[in-house]
Structure 1
Amino acid sequence: MPRLRRIRHFTLALDSGPGPTAVYRGGELLSGRVVLEVARRLRVKALEVRARGRATAHWLEGKTVGMSTVYSDYTAHEVYLQMRRAVIRDSGDVTILPPGRHEFAFTFQLPESLATSFEGKHGSVRYWVKAKLHRPWAAVKTAKKEFTVIEPIDINTAALLAPQAGAKEKLARAWYCSRGQVSVSAKIDRKGYTPGEVIPIFAEIDNGTSRAVVPRAAIIQVQTFAARGAKKQKKCVVASMAGDAIGARKREVWHGRALKIPPVGPSILRCHILQVEYVLKICVDIPGTSKLLLELPLVIGTIPLHPFGSRTSSVSSQYSVSLDWIRLGTSEQLEAPPEYSSVVSADESPESPAPPGPNAPPNLLEGPFFAYIQEFRFRPPPLYSEVDPNPTADHSIRPRCMTC
């Protein structure tokens, strides 16, 4: 007859609410229970719970020396969380636990500043809770439970609400002969965004060459790892969009071409050995020469833009998902941004006004006047008055003499 095990279950449970994943942030209370179910009487010396959190960067670099390759190891650690709680103290005596289910509660006060959890190719930021059960004349039994930390990044700040703009130009050459110049200038309404938002890209691409060029836009995630004075980078494309080909000696203008941000992790900027940054890259493919690249910095946050935010935010940032009514004020006929129907539903899409006449000036919705329209667009009608401000002309009424 097989011998019955004394310990049936030894697990950790975190009080993380109804969600399947335990998610916390700096300054919160981490609480949970050690669940121990025993079949027979159990002698326990001590039971401790430890909370750990650290960032790790690691990679190998090879260098050829003679006929062999020598690898250099680059490793760095940064500790964020290191706490210990003695649920059953080791006082020299043995604690007897009767058969049945036993639960031991524990709590940890998380530090105010923690880095967001992350898993990358050359590094990670991980947090976990580990319980150790010490028994006389027996191996230590352990249970481990990982949890996620997401540090809030509020994009409703002056630095993240500031517009980002840049310009680049390149002289296309082939066989030491100049074929013309290609230039690009781009602007976005702010620096900070959250996953699921749409970035309206305002750009102008001027093709001065004799061949067609193709503009593209992409969101790039840049992972930077640091160890022993060296750095390692990994870049990956998280979203991209291709524009139409621009013919020779032609110019194209993007009036808010939409690029949606997919579900990605927030930026990590305060870790010394691991950083996660984002950039918006405008690329122009030029046949016969290298690409023209323009990068605008981005910060992916966790707290979205307030629906009626501060005055420092631009008007286009509050209506970045609906650009049809803006484009109606321009003289050029532009196509709708890609996948617009997947971004805005029919109920959320505002009704577009009638297009202006052919004699309307092309720049009515630009500059301060554009902000003026948006400011008074949803104001209530004027109050009712008994006095008609525009009375009809009546010749039977004698005009009043101003000299009387």
Structure 2
Amino acid sequence: MGKLQEFDITFKDNKVVYSPGDAVSGTLKITTAQALLFKDIKVNCQGFCGVTSKIDDTAWTVEEQYFSSTLSVADKGTLKQGDHSFPFKFLIPASIPTSFEGNYGKIMYRVRAFIDTSRFSKDYKTEKPFYLLSLLNLNEVPDIHGPSSSSITKTFTYLLGVKTGTVVLKAQSDMKGYTPGQVIKLTTEIDNRSGKTTGTVVARLIQKVTYQTKKPTIDLRTLVQVEGTGVKADKQAEWKEQIIVPPLRQSSMADCGLINMEYFIQISLKSPVVSFLLPIHIGNISVDTTSAQLSRPPPQTPDPLYSSAKPAKLEHSSRSEPSSHNQGPPTTAPRPARRPAPKPVPRMRVSTSSPSAPPAEMDYLANSMPTLYPLLPPEYSTSTLPHGQSLTPIE
């Protein structure tokens, strides 16, 4: 480092994680081996976002800056041989996004220091990043209470196009918002109105990050995948599965105009090829389900003169153990159930539309795979995590 033996930034109490509205304070330490003439010594605190269309490229195509504050800690003069300390303090704005780093961009916060020397001498600079955590309270997300549900009906041909069949696929999650460690409870119903056994049913937790470059770049990742067996010809079945939410970054990058993060549960059949998405939110503060229950009106008691028997429900399999991205198959065996009384089944179409472009890179999940598909194909997977779970057939 030439004349400098030390040029380092230290944060007060070695703190490296901050929240919006906090003060970042610390000390710039300089140790010189000999006297050093300088024009200015400055410390800068900066928060910015940069995105690109090339993977792991730091030559940003588009940037946005959230704040940049500069403090001059010493004017023109001479740093004598020895140790020197310059304290600094910056206030972080109250409305800025959480830190993030992905394949095609990052949201970064850092403190930098500069020593401007004379015209023909070497300038010096150093920097130290810090992490900003902006918590997402799921209770502040609009329409967060209740399940996320969807359904689709598909007509298909088989036996070389000689015969036609229909499959009805319905699914719902118990909630719309989760925090890491919570369990997503999925209920899926398959009504196979054909003479052919369906392929396996698959549920995937998918993460999508959109980077807003000139042509938006989409980065997808399958985080968790679980599977159940197919449904025999002219049978119905209900599949219940649970997925433990792994450590994930929060949904949405509030106050960031260049990066957007979303999460979905994709429900699909491998044959016939049919799928849809259940949008969910991942946050830091869990949904208060008690307040939602208190706000619901009490159930009405039906008039006995006009009451009718409730339609029979599909029997379901024994509850499986929660599934995380590294868990094995459940040990609970399915049990058969009787077919309910026949009832008319209306033709249903997708009630939750798929996003126009399919989820993001996590540094703790190694097998990210970007895709250019406009929709999420049902066979898409970057994970080899089969979770053998049988369905309960209805005799």
Q: TM-score, normalised by structure 1?
A: 0.67
Residue pair 1:208, 1:250 contacting (<8 A) in 2 also: yes
Deviation at 1:131, TM superposition (A): 0.4
Take 2:3 and 2:102, find their aligned partners in 1: how far apart are those partners? Answer: 40
User: 1:337 and 2:321 equivalent?
Assistant: yes
The partner residue of 2:6 within 3, 6, 9 is: 9
Deviation at 1:102, TM superposition (A): 2.2
Correspondences of 1:214-229 after superposition (within 5 Å): 214-228=200-214
Residues 156 and 309 in structure 1, CA contact (< 8 A), matched pair in contact too:
no
Any gaps of 5 or more consecutive residues in structure 1?
A: 62-72, 316-329, 344-404
Please say if 1:180 is aligned against 2:165: yes
Please give the residue correspondences for 1:3-402 in structure 2 after superposition, counting only pairs within 5 Å. 5-15=2-12, 17=14, 22-59=16-53, 75-89=61-75, 93-94=76-77, 96-136=78-118, 137-157=120-140, 159-174=143-158, 175-209=160-194, 210-228=196-214, 230-255=215-240, 257-270=241-254, 271-286=256-271, 289=272, 291-305=273-287, 309-312=290-293, 332-339=316-323
**CA separation in 2, counterparts of 1:153 and 1:238?**
20
Query: What is the distance in 2 between the residues matched to 1:172 and 1:74?
Result: 46
Q: Secondary structure at the match of 1:311?
A: helix
Q: In structure 1, what is the Cα distance between the partners aligned to 2:176 and 2:315?
A: 29
Q: 1:85 to 1:193 in 2, by over 3 A?
A: same
Cα displacement (A) at 1:121: 2.1
Please give the per-residue CA displacement for 1:30-79, whole angstroms capped at 9, x wherever unaligned.
Answer: 12211112233333332111122222221169xxxxxxxxxxx9922211
Q: Tell me how many residue pairs correspond in the alignment.
A: 302
The 8 Å contact of residues 98 and 253 in structure 2, kept in 1 or not, is answered as no
Q: Any idea what the Cα deviations from partners look like across 1:260-299, whole Å, max 9, x if unmatched?
A: 111121123432221111111111111xx4x211211111
Alpha-carbon distance in 1 for matches of 2:8, 2:60: 35
Percent identity of equivalent pairs: 25
Using a 3 Å threshold, how does the CA distance of structure 1 residues 112 and 97 change in structure 2: closer, same or farther?
Answer: same
Q: Aligned partners of 1:334, 1:34: CA distance in 2, in Å?
A: 62
Q: What is the distance in 2 between the residues matched to 1:185 and 1:199?
A: 16
Distance of 2:82 and 2:115 partners within structure 1: 16
Larger Cα-atom Rg: 1
The normalised TM-score by structure 2 is 0.69
| Residues 74, 84 of structure 1: alpha-carbon distance in 2 compared, 3 angstrom cutoff | closer
Q: Runs ≥4 in structure 1, deviation > 6 angstroms?
A: none
| 1:146 maps to amino acid | P
Q: How far is 1:98 from its partner?
A: 3.7
* Secondary structure of the structure 1 residue equivalent to 2:61: strand
Distance 1:160 1:331, change over 3 A: closer
Tell me which amino acid in the other structure corresponds to 2:234: R
CA distance in 2, matches of 1:5, 1:222: 47
**Residues of 1 paired with 2:125 and 2:174: CA distance?**
52
CA pair 36-178 structure 1, distance change in 2 beyond 3 A: farther
Alpha carbons of 1:17 and 1:304: their partners in 2 closer, same or farther (altered >3 Å)? Answer: farther
* Contact persistence 2:244–2:322 (CA under 8 A): no
Q: Provide closer, same or farther for how the CA distance between residues 333 and 128 of structure 1 changes in structure 2, counting only shifts above 3 A.
A: closer
Deviation at 1:334, TM superposition (A): 1.7
* Contact 1:60–1:74 (8 Å) recurs in 2: no
Instruction: State the SS of the aligned residue for 2:94.
Output: coil
Tell me by how many angstroms 1:9 deviates. 0.7
Structure-2 separation of matches of 1:57 and 1:103: 36
- The Cα offsets for residues 202-225 of structure 1, whole Å up to 9 and x where unpaired, read as 221222231232111111111112
1: CA distance, partners of 2:191 / 2:315: 18
Shift in CA distance, 114/178, structure 1 to aligned 2, threshold 3 Å: farther
Match of 2:392 in 1: none
Distance across 2 between alignment mates of 1:243 and 1:7? 64
**CA 1:253–1:15: 2 relative to 1, 3 Å:** farther
In 2: Cα distance, 1:178 partner to 1:124 partner:
52
Structural RMSD (CA): 3.0
Q: Which has the higher contact order (CA 8 A, sep 6+)?
A: 2
> Who is 2:335 aligned against?
none
**Separation (CA, whole Å) in 1 of partners of 2:46 and 2:146:** 37
**Counterpart code for 1:191:** K
